Amino acid sequence: MHILFVADPLEQFKIYKDTTFSMMREAQRRGHKLSACVPQDLTWQRGRPVIAKVREITLTGEQAWFREEAVIERPLHAFDAVLMRKDPPFDAEYIYATHLLEQAEREGARVINRPRALRDHPEKLAIMEFAEYTTPTLVTRDPAAVRAFHAEHQDIILKPLDGMGGMGIFRVRADGLNLGSIVETLNNHGEQTLMVQRFVPEITQGDKRILVIAGQAVPFSLARIPQGTEVRGNLAAGGKGVAQPLTDQDRRIAEAIGPVLSERGLLLIGLDVIGNALTEINVTSPTCFQEITEQTGFDVPAMFIDALEAELR
């Protein structure tokens, strides 16, 4: 099997923790061939299929972790699988890439996660379909609505819809200190939509990442625990990752959401749960494979490649 990874530049990978790297390593271990490109390498021209300028690579197991074997132009439908693993932001360029990938699908490419499903499930807003599992949440451009939500709930979290890694997340307590300034910053005086959620105090126990592969939950989550005075548990914001077995509520959430989204073409998703409340559904490039595997011995990359191979049969 020949797999194309559409991802960030290989030179930027932090292979000690990178989930895409762990997928590549397991795929190569099974004898599959690897290629990689960035979204900028995708091209369509009338009368031709969607092509990409790709780097055919071999993993070396050394500090220089990959060897480039060739750089060629190749139609996407010529690969056995195309894995879309580009990190957010979920911006216009990301959406344009999904349109190119969807055209490649029409030409016979097998794209995972499916491009339409990526567009239909933006990571902050996808929770609206499963509101019974969320903390009280508001999505709005209206500063007055944010003030009313704060007056009702007193302790709130505000965040942009296109952030990642904890970027742009603010907590405002009962005193409302800087609420107006924060809203102006996040919604650009009414030009941009933001999300507001009631603060979940269980964040001190971690923001749990629950991985769901082909509708089945990995049996361990990674609780990303805020450090020091931080309110954010994201690893990119300095959180400490601690693997732990799923709770009964974690399983209920995963069993309610996982099969539904799997049927829509999302082979891999990451559910973010604080306490018993769902806060986000990650679909673009869910992470934490290596941390869970190293701490528990459960081989998450193997589970994923098993599911990928089954999907392509």
Catalytic residues: 124, 159, 209, 224, 232, 272, 280, 282
Asked if residue 140 lies in contact with residue 160, where contact means CB atoms within 8 angstroms, the answer is no
**Sign of torsion, CA 165 138 284 268?**
positive
The CA distance from 137 to 197, in Å, is: 4
Kindly state the tokens that stand for 45. Answer: 């021209």
Asked if residue 287 lies in contact with residue 272, where contact means CB atoms within 8 angstroms, the answer is no
Question: Which residue carries 């190749």 as its tokens?
Answer: 74
Angle of helix 289-296 relative to helix 19-29, nearest 10 degrees, comes to 70
The CA distance from 290 to 298, in Å, is: 10
Question: Which residue carries 């979204």 as its tokens?
Answer: 39
Is the previous residue joined to 113 through a cis bond, with omega within 30 degrees of 0?
yes
Asked if residue 88 lies in contact with residue 97, where contact means CB atoms within 8 angstroms, the answer is no
Kindly state the tokens that stand for 216. Answer: 């089945």
The CA distance from 88 to 69, in Å, is: 28
**Sign of torsion, CA 261 21 43 40?**
positive
CA distances, 119 to each of 101, 163, 287 (Å): 11, 16, 19
Kindly state the tokens that stand for 51. Answer: 């092509």
The CA distance from 84 to 283, in Å, is: 10
CA distances, 39 to each of 52, 76, 191 (Å): 9, 12, 28
